[in-house]
Structure 1
């Protein structure tokens, strides 16, 4: 029946059995508002006992993403992340959490911003969001969610009723095509099918139509102008962000066709995706889970490369791998089309991820070890040593803080003319280089 809640009184309005479909079981009850214009927040866990059992099972089989429905507040994300660490404490590379925004309570105060900050990805679940909110509010809320995600560099998926009519028809309505295009113009990283591919009569046609819409929009000059004018400003003050900004500008100036990134956790590629460069982003990682996670990010083409194949002590070998993969994927036609951004750190499988007491900060605790080994073989030698460089070659070295391997701390330009070298601070070999010579450009 229909349940109405009043202070201290519960009134149940019964419905005849004939009015209730026998297939509609386990239907949830919606509480849109406690009173006019005030979203309701039910102070209960968003995870049932069955949800916890399912989560434990999913961690056992190694899922890449866990989507949490009906998120109301940031504490819901903290709860599921704590459960993931509790159920699987030895796994340093835990599944990512995607928050499904379906409740108006997410928009109270700064809740949405904190939810985006805590989550690894966001889904705009427009179906249930449209039940909880007025239909005319959904387009505005969609743009608000996408904007918050863009500013924090988190992938965002727009879902529900994208091409709904293609469940029964081989072609969509023009309004549906326009709706899908609008999500792309807004800056979504992905648009998702539900019933169109899960239960529809034309799943293949629906996917092909959606791909045609995406290709058409991304080829529109207005789309490029929109991305250029709406690129989020990176104000975190980190050197890694500065490197990404410089890489995007360099790629444009040298007319590079692709930006390649060597990454372990995927942060470098995500930062590059956040700035929406004109070039595709090739993300090369020795971790298959990182590649799967990066598949959600805009413009990123992840590629798994085993640690035995990717020699991180030999930067020239890494460049050769990047060129080979770029050519194989058809992203470049020759080596001069590629610009490489690397902030590659040694993966630490003994590291443990911990949430702070406030639930808003995540730390990586790494066992104390000795200093990293010096570069070997053909790797780039340290500044202060003689470099066997061709006349006129210029390089940019990315230095990294010896006390913090995970951050790039300075960008220094050095010129080498006719074999002469420049003395300066020692380079421990963990940086990359940008150079012109042998028809290569890399960063």
Structure 2
């Protein structure tokens, strides 16, 4: 149940910005400009680019992080079991009423027309999914290019060397090589992790990425497969479940329990369930993530027109603001920054939209209360933190010590009205926290004892917030210190008290 309406302080932003790096944004100079414009996290799309190219981008992103003094979360996005049309000699405009014949790649008979060359009103195409004919039937819809092209299956030849699917074009459009294919309601006979995905996963571990996004998640078993592969490599990288299938929506609770975070991947999800249903499910997914205490990212076409225009449409600005009001932890840019003409302007615009949306307390998504305190003592501490903050108007910040990052994740979900500074001894934990709502991560060696912890708090409050002696901050963490204990310590602390108590 909502109990208050948090508003981000004027000098900070709650929701974070995740941007995809690509040809338009992979140079050292542009990455530095993106960070200056407000970038909090980087997405690397493993569907494009080889490992050498991606490694160079990662190195530049980490260099920009070091130069700015602000941690960046780096996310590797696996391609997953996406099926595609094969290679075409050139883009071709499909017209309504045309018939296409789709065969598995390499299965065309000798002397048959080449893919992409219409013959007698029939356009031959290929797909990289050999099982297509076994999984569709007459009357079924098949969508290409994120739903822009609509096909209706008319005939299926499922067996033999000439296995194929015939379909009539209901809604045409320009078809290009390797265009994505969606078949709503059909679970493909493909593993959660392809050989390419496993190779990319190993690369992500070698490069020290902070998050791994798993595409086309159907259930918790898909996430366990990714976690098992990471465990085998000795990695504790956090796994983000991309929610983009109807199957995932049916299994949302189990996915939330198995994931370290979720992404509302609205492109493929919209093809699966219809665009009119996406806003409803966006809010439901965000709410489910908040209940499960995992961060949520809203993605796809948020400022799409900025691929080729210096300013977004009013509808796009409203889309970003509504995601913020729904309560998302982060919003994501894709083509806008990867291949667009205005990558830096897109990040700066998203920063301004978020800040403006968060200025109005009557509009900001309310924090949540309720739940079972006895089930999770650390969560009850986070509610106690919020109570102290709300009951003491002079509190300047919450400063949380964490080993695993869990304390920061707890407090982030409570949407404090003051800055939340998360102090982490491990760089990986610090970087992961950069994706959490309202959290300012700071690398901090573990203090030896409580007195040392409070002296550290004083130093951080002065350096990060400009606090003077007497300013109030809430200190939270787990004791005994440095042992990974659950969050069980809270103190309303006046800056300078530790020094005075020590006789300095």
Task: Give the TM-score normalised by the residue count of structure 1.
Answer: 0.71
Q: Does 1:159 align with 2:299?
A: yes
Q: Report what 2:443 is aligned to.
A: 304
**Equivalent pair of 2:420/2:440 in contact (CA under 8 Å):** yes
Q: CA deviation at 1:434?
A: 4.6
CA distance in 1, matches of 2:264, 2:467: 34
Aligned to 2:309, which of 169, 176, 179?
A: 169
CA distance in 1, matches of 2:314, 2:494: 49
CA distance in 1, matches of 2:183, 2:369: 35
Aligned to 1:235, which of 368, 372, 389?
A: 372
Let me know the Cα RMSD of the aligned residues. Answer: 2.8
How has the CA–CA distance of structure 1 residues 207 and 20 changed in structure 2, closer, same or farther, with 3 Å as cutoff? closer
Listed one character per residue, the Cα deviations across residues 257-287 of structure 1 (whole Å, up to 9, x for unaligned) are 1000011001111111111121121100111
**Equivalent pair of 2:469/2:495 in contact (CA under 8 Å):** no
Q: Report what 1:426 is aligned to.
A: none
Q: Does 1:42 align with 2:179?
A: no
**Equivalent pair of 1:164/1:195 in contact (CA under 8 Å):** yes
Q: Report what 1:186 is aligned to.
A: 326
Q: Once superposed, which parts of structure 1, at least 4 consecutive aligned residues long, lie more than 4 Å away? A: 1-4, 19-23, 331-335, 344-348, 431-441
**Equivalent pair of 2:385/2:490 in contact (CA under 8 Å):** no
Q: Report what 1:295 is aligned to.
A: 434
Q: Report what 1:407 is aligned to.
A: 486
CA distance in 1, matches of 2:407, 2:174: 51
Q: Report what 1:13 is aligned to.
A: 166
Q: Report what 1:427 is aligned to.
A: none
Q: Does 1:100 align with 2:246?
A: no
CA distance in 1, matches of 2:428, 2:258: 19
CA distance in 1, matches of 2:490, 2:264: 38
How has the CA–CA distance of structure 1 residues 20 and 217 changed in structure 2, closer, same or farther, with 3 Å as cutoff? closer
How has the CA–CA distance of structure 1 residues 336 and 250 changed in structure 2, closer, same or farther, with 3 Å as cutoff? same
Aligned length, in residue pairs: 342
Q: Report what 1:282 is aligned to.
A: 421
How has the CA–CA distance of structure 1 residues 250 and 204 changed in structure 2, closer, same or farther, with 3 Å as cutoff? same
Segments of structure 2 that go 5 or more residues without pairing to the other structure are 1-100, 103-131, 139-155, 159-163, 500-504
- Greater relative CO (CA pairs within 8 A, separation 6+): 2
**Equivalent pair of 1:323/1:338 in contact (CA under 8 Å):** no
How has the CA–CA distance of structure 1 residues 48 and 324 changed in structure 2, closer, same or farther, with 3 Å as cutoff? same
Q: Secondary structure at the match of 1:303?
A: strand
Q: Does 1:247 align with 2:385?
A: yes
- Greater shift, 57-66 or 75-84, is seen at 57-66
CA distance in 1, matches of 2:218, 2:480: 36
CA distance in 2, matches of 1:189, 1:118: 18
Segments of structure 1 that go 5 or more residues without pairing to the other structure are 34-39, 349-404, 410-430
Listed one character per residue, the Cα deviations across residues 199-237 of structure 1 (whole Å, up to 9, x for unaligned) are 11111111111111111111112134x414xx1434252
CA distance in 2, matches of 1:338, 1:434: 6
Q: CA deviation at 1:433?
A: 4.7
**Equivalent pair of 1:336/1:439 in contact (CA under 8 Å):** no
Task: Give the TM-score normalised by the residue count of structure 2.
Answer: 0.63
Q: Secondary structure at the match of 2:366?
A: helix
Q: CA deviation at 1:22?
A: 8.9
Q: Report what 1:124 is aligned to.
A: 264
CA distance in 2, matches of 1:437, 1:211: 31
How has the CA–CA distance of structure 1 residues 121 and 292 changed in structure 2, closer, same or farther, with 3 Å as cutoff? same
CA distance in 2, matches of 1:101, 1:296: 18
